[in-house]
Amino acid sequence: MNYGYNLNWQEFMELFPDLAPVIIPIAILALILTAAALISLFKKKLPFSQIAIWLIIIIAVNLIGSVIYFAIGSKMLDEKKQTGGDEK
């Protein structure tokens, strides 16, 4: 099933100079946010289970995962750390 125009590698490389001003900044932003989220996550002294969950979210969802981590996860993990975390 064909959902749209299929580009072969040569056609893509011909379009790349036009797309580069859009693609390159987004890729750099994604790398910076992902690295910052991972650094922030590993600086926290947390149980492995909490680190593993956020690690999967940050890496699997990439750009959006990093934004979710900074918007929700970082604050939530800091609050858990201050209150003593999960009581089992």
* Any domain includes 9: no
How many domains is the chain built from? 1
Residue 70, domain member (yes or no):
yes
Q: Tens-of-pLDDT digits for all 88 residues of the chain?
A: 556 667 788 887 888 888 888 889 988 988 999 999 999 999 988 889 889 998 998 888 877 888 888 888 877 777 776 776 554 4
* Nearest Cα to Cα of residue 64 among 28, 33, 35: 33
Q: What is the pTM of this model?
A: 0.64
| Residue-number span of the structural domain to which 73 is assigned | 27-83
Cβ–Cβ contacts within 10 Å for residue 58, how many? 26
